[in-house]
Structure 1
């Protein structure tokens, strides 16, 4: 079996680097045959260079996203069987460590994830990233039972996917008295804290407890072993350590506190831990799910005193240690004095810790990890391609129009939201009500319900109210129900015809059909006056839907033919060998144009239209997938011919028609790569995008409004959410037919 580890690694001075080295060594120790091959893919922090050992075969520069993708490709092409990801937000690049998702998106082998941090109150990005990692993982390993409960409650990750394997500890071979002698501490009562130093560690709390202890036991020595955390060092220098040193002088403890300002190796660390009588973890808040220092101290058989953070409450239960309140130096001092005054009680705690620590040895845990690797690999190899499609469907979120209903009242659907709260200031628009009607019609085809009919009726009523006597439509209306424009845009006209055409094809009730027919045919006289190619394309989609229901309507066939050749002529005037497009700019809802040409060409049986559709599709396809994921044209400056395309300002409206376009091309060619790209396009909503962040909000059932250079636009308006659910329904319908 060939194992790839994604982690920081020695000689980088990092707790996770040490952890990964210990797993690597434990697996090697337990492998009694040459069947195991292990390699490290090491995260290298920005601006640093390390002389890595031979097991490191790939270095991933923290802030270089391409390195993550290249690492995945290396793993895929070099016959690895399983990948272990050591996850901690801070060691990966991108916002909240999002770059690691690029690696996972391209990884083709089973994944096991070791979570070193599980936050109870994550940011939106942190929660989204962890949920995506969990979604990709075959198994998630945590180091405490409380972490499993957190994953279930906060991140909705099922307990069947999680496994608790405690933090391992080394073998402590030097006896307590011998260790003291080697360190020339035989005549001292030794208290210790080790690890990276920072304010969150609460070392000042422990120092403030010492005067009362020293007053009774002047031989006490508090060892603070460890360097300032590298990130803190970059930002604030040695400010905290210097404040601790000043505190020691202020309290006259120079003889009782010793700082060992170095990142000690495992041999020296084992010696220090074996020598200590009492170990303290005085962390200042409870949100610590794993503490390697705590595990090491228990493994060494020290009497551990700790504030009641999550891991400590679990680890020190049943008399294996003593808890004291956060920032309570007085209580800590009383506990230390009591233990040094009562040798039997002190030794009793040490004995229970030592007994428990025997089960934490890396030699024993190495067996558990090796067994986990083998089970995951076996299970994954037994899966069939058919199961993969089934699983893909199961991994889709449940269809839920909660946010659509939140934005809808008796008048129609509101345009915008402030985050997920309806924003009354901007009122309603025809565009969104037509999109909402299209969505409810598509949903009704899959699973009819009275609720969908009720929503459909609201949106159809809005369309009816906005049509003027001449057959055109207004677009905008205030929340106070006042018209805001004399006449709507051509695009809003075209979108309306698209939804009305779909209604005429699929109307669930006769009265819906009758009013839809009136609205549709009242607007027909304006079809040929449209100039915007997108307005014409939207209208063509509606006409195609109508003709799929009434294929012999010659007058409407003529309208479709005229519109299709109008767009084809625009293509011929603007396209060149290297620019196969309908305009000199690629702007918004671009997939709509080749989609309308392909659909019109099919129903008109006109190969020239299909040729235009396929050529423009091929050009757009290259632009959309010039990376390993869908990267749509942003609206910052769009993509003007002979200029660069905008990276940000990516909006969901683009993606919904991209999904529909790949569906159409797959249906016409039956080439599997287009089915794959259809699914990949939908995954843009779920985080396979420029920022590796999910736009879909599983809590609100809404969709964020776009990708910006600063992150997500977290407003969840009608357009974005409707486009998400339209894409969802189309993808699910296609995948369901493949089972």
Structure 2
């Protein structure tokens, strides 16, 4: 046990010394808000009252998290945390009201998405300084929390923490410049000095020595250790009463009811101190809370964990001039460093009882601690805190406006490097494994023609740019797999092979056959190696005839893409010309029968690999000007891009969990890398055919989905492995890095890189 001691500072430093400030006239505050019952909601309301009182001319409004109907008048807008479009409306509101600054209350768990990532698109789209109050700062965040924190730091003009320890962690762990951090204490009401007896009489505690803990009840508060200390305290001071004030946390109630509170009550009963422990199971208003604080002789915060950067309850008790006994979590260490309380070891009921008995035995020492806390608490009143926040807002507004857009590909240099480590790891002597568990190959699922076809297309594309032996070996392996997949008996490509190298079918799906034709068509036209090219020609010619009997529009499109590749090198093959015309006619018939003003598509449902159909028509139509294929391809792709663009302007592919039927609801998740890749490729084809730069911009926007410009605000590309996560869920990425997803990223990157390099070269030649 130790008493709070001086740190060598004559006075705690709060706020910023920067005199280069300017007043703001319009402020928007974002966070939880009353009547929601949580500490952040109470803090946000108190902050609103503090800044508007400190500057009566300030026009301040609140955006509250949640969809309640009973918010007070200052709440101008609400956000359903799980509704991504609501964050766009909030960004629009900040712009429409002409706000000078946005003050964000940040705590993990407030905002939707993985670690609250839904907040990031909002911050990207507001064009005013963002001042973020960090209610918790993690020294060891998980992957999603780290990504969110890094972007939160990037998009904030100033960061507010409530203790110097918070500034230290921001600097050491997150690399934040100390100059952008304001240390402003947790505000407290302007308590008046009072003795405890009058309030004890009001609450029925006359004659008691009251120990108090208040706040939402839940594990992690250490209340069980305080209860375990009560037998030794009650033995020495029979008049001692430990009051636990506060409702159980709503999330805990929803999950397990009142089981935690009941376990504490049972503990008190088992220890024989039921008459010395009183649970007040309710969320009280401020007036009632002040009455309980006034009645307390000692305030207990027995938190078992050190990593607690802020405690509003501790600040309130300290500011009211209560003698505090606390475990040495970060906020308590700092707040009690100049006296005002005692620190005890965590998880030590004996240390708590010793400290309590010490103060109850020595009223003079307890009175000294109280008066020390009360005097220091005058620096923490909401009146003072409101002024410090106005200084922070002014410093943010006076600084250089931040311009941190979402991940944006403007130049060739902005593209990430192409890294094939993960694909090489997924490849053995037989072919490319379909799936991975995280970034480890999953042998159980075996191989498939679909992925080996995509992989061969990638290696052919890279063949001229890279002559590494490893790449040549990978390409040869993928082509050998395709050759093995071809069933000469029926003219079809098989699709699935087990890890034991057994084919699991005589013919794969029409779509997988079409992809295989596309791959060997690409190899027939693009490979620089004679052996590869001749084998591709043979496979293409033998596998093409059955396509005429297919019924899948996507299979037609995949085959068309292969025919376009093949005809670019062998334009005199009349049989391929004939079949290309048939495929184009079939797709155009689907278009004519299905497309309308509200649904410009080839089917009554949008499913997977959607953009490949417009892409095939755009490329074929560029060589068949009388067919109308080019016009249909461009019109359908333009409509598809509108459907797949979120309110924030980023790419939002059709979700795999239900797709999108003409007369049904659209599925927004699980979003697949395959959709982003198809869209990148189709938009690049449209750009190459039309020369319109808007299509290149659309391709970049679809590619940026991989980098984190998406609904969840998290990247799917793994820069370490070169792989790509398997999908985007409403609250996270699917961390598995399968072949399809990793190839989708690598193909998109390779195609976009080549397109942008060609554009750069054209500009140089013109210049």
The TM-score with structure 2 as length reference comes to 0.78
Residues of 1 paired with 2:617 and 2:584: CA distance? 8
Residue number in structure 2 paired with 1:652? 673
Aligned to 1:5, what secondary structure does the other structure show? strand
Residues of 2 paired with 1:319 and 1:429: CA distance? 69
Contact 1:564–1:597 (8 Å) recurs in 2: no
- Return the offset for 1:127: 6.2
CA 1:332 to 1:728, structure 2 compared with 1: closer, same or farther past 3 Å?
Answer: farther
Identify which of 713, 721, 744 aligns with 1:723: 744
Aligned to 2:443, what secondary structure does the other structure show? strand
Residue number in structure 1 paired with 2:47? 23
Report the RMSD for the aligned CA atoms in angstroms: 4.6
Residue number in structure 1 paired with 2:588? 572
Aligned to 1:555, what secondary structure does the other structure show? coil
- Return the offset for 1:708: 6.6
Residues of 2 paired with 1:262 and 1:392: CA distance? 58
CA 1:254 to 1:538, structure 2 compared with 1: closer, same or farther past 3 Å?
Answer: closer
Residue number in structure 2 paired with 1:705? 726
Residues of 1 paired with 2:318 and 2:479: CA distance? 70
The TM-score with structure 1 as length reference comes to 0.80
Q: Is 1:370 aligned to residue 390 of structure 2? A: yes
Residues of 2 paired with 1:643 and 1:260: CA distance? 50
Residue number in structure 2 paired with 1:165? 183
CA 1:66 to 1:594, structure 2 compared with 1: closer, same or farther past 3 Å?
Answer: closer
Contact 1:210–1:333 (8 Å) recurs in 2: yes
Residues of 2 paired with 1:251 and 1:400: CA distance? 63
Aligned to 1:290, what secondary structure does the other structure show? coil
- Return the offset for 1:723: 0.9
Q: C-alpha deviations, 1:522-573, integer Å up to 9, x for none?
A: 234244542454345335445655777x6xx5326x5775454333201232
Structure 2: segments with no counterpart, 5+ residues: 1-23
Residues of 2 paired with 1:433 and 1:360: CA distance? 65
- Return the offset for 1:435: 2.3
- Return the offset for 1:39: 0.6
- Return the offset for 1:657: 0.6
CA 1:707 to 1:240, structure 2 compared with 1: closer, same or farther past 3 Å?
Answer: closer
CA 1:59 to 1:395, structure 2 compared with 1: closer, same or farther past 3 Å?
Answer: farther
Q: How does 1:499-648 map to 2 (within 5 A)?
A: 499=519, 512-526=528-542, 527=544, 529-531=546-548, 532=550, 533-542=553-562, 544=564, 553-555=570-572, 561-574=577-590, 575-576=592-593, 577-578=595-596, 580-583=600-603, 586-602=606-622, 608-625=628-645, 630-635=651-656, 648=669
Residues of 1 paired with 2:392 and 2:412: CA distance? 26
Residue number in structure 2 paired with 1:419? 438
Residue number in structure 2 paired with 1:12? 36
Aligned to 1:85, what secondary structure does the other structure show? strand
Aligned to 2:445, what secondary structure does the other structure show? strand
Residue number in structure 2 paired with 1:210? 230
Residues of 2 paired with 1:454 and 1:22: CA distance? 63
Residue number in structure 2 paired with 1:408? 427
Q: Is 1:662 aligned to residue 683 of structure 2? A: yes
Aligned to 2:447, what secondary structure does the other structure show? strand
Residue number in structure 2 paired with 1:304? 324
Residue number in structure 2 paired with 1:193? 213
Identify which of 77, 84, 94 aligns with 1:75: 94
Q: Is 1:431 aligned to residue 450 of structure 2? A: yes
Residues of 1 paired with 2:589 and 2:746: CA distance? 36
Residue number in structure 2 paired with 1:462? 478
Greater RCO structure (CA 8 Å; 6+ sep) = 2
- Return the offset for 1:402: 4.3
The answer to which of 422-431 and 275-284 deviates more is 275-284
Residues of 2 paired with 1:560 and 1:310: CA distance? 74
Residue number in structure 2 paired with 1:226? 246
Aligned to 1:196, what secondary structure does the other structure show? coil
The answer to which of 605-614 and 16-25 deviates more is 605-614
- Return the offset for 1:140: 4.8
Residue number in structure 2 paired with 1:38? 60
Residues of 2 paired with 1:129 and 1:288: CA distance? 19
CA 1:266 to 1:704, structure 2 compared with 1: closer, same or farther past 3 Å?
Answer: same
Aligned to 2:347, what secondary structure does the other structure show? coil
Contact 2:222–2:347 (8 Å) recurs in 1: yes
Contact 2:408–2:704 (8 Å) recurs in 1: no
Residues of 2 paired with 1:242 and 1:113: CA distance? 38
Contact 2:606–2:660 (8 Å) recurs in 1: yes
- Return the offset for 1:466: 3.6
How many aligned residue pairs are there?
Answer: 719
Q: C-alpha deviations, 1:180-217, integer Å up to 9, x for none?
A: 55655897654321212234323232133123123333
Residues of 1 paired with 2:374 and 2:411: CA distance? 47
Contact 1:500–1:516 (8 Å) recurs in 2: no
Contact 2:619–2:689 (8 Å) recurs in 1: no
Residue number in structure 1 paired with 2:344? 324
Residues of 2 paired with 1:682 and 1:319: CA distance? 57
Q: C-alpha deviations, 1:676-735, integer Å up to 9, x for none?
A: 544443354456667776545567654333357997655321101221333345556777
Aligned to 1:197, what secondary structure does the other structure show? coil
Residues of 2 paired with 1:107 and 1:135: CA distance? 13
Q: C-alpha deviations, 1:132-160, integer Å up to 9, x for none?
A: 6566555554445665777799xx85434
Residues of 2 paired with 1:242 and 1:109: CA distance? 48
Q: How does 1:207-356 map to 2 (within 5 A)?
A: 207-234=227-254, 240-241=260-261, 244=264, 256-259=276-279, 261-266=281-286, 269=289, 272-273=292-293, 276-286=296-306, 288-313=308-333, 315-316=335-336, 321-341=341-361
Q: C-alpha deviations, 1:420-463, integer Å up to 9, x for none?
A: 32111222333323323444566788xx6676x52343133331
Q: C-alpha deviations, 1:612-657, integer Å up to 9, x for none?
A: 2113223433443486654444456655666666555543212211
Q: C-alpha deviations, 1:654-683, integer Å up to 9, x for none?
A: 221112223333555566765554444335
CA 1:417 to 1:256, structure 2 compared with 1: closer, same or farther past 3 Å?
Answer: same
Residues of 1 paired with 2:448 and 2:220: CA distance? 51
Contact 2:588–2:629 (8 Å) recurs in 1: no
- Return the offset for 1:306: 2.6
Contact 1:301–1:351 (8 Å) recurs in 2: yes
Q: How does 1:94-113 map to 2 (within 5 A)?
A: 100=119, 103=122, 107=126, 109-113=128-132
CA 1:342 to 1:388, structure 2 compared with 1: closer, same or farther past 3 Å?
Answer: same
- Return the offset for 1:332: 1.2
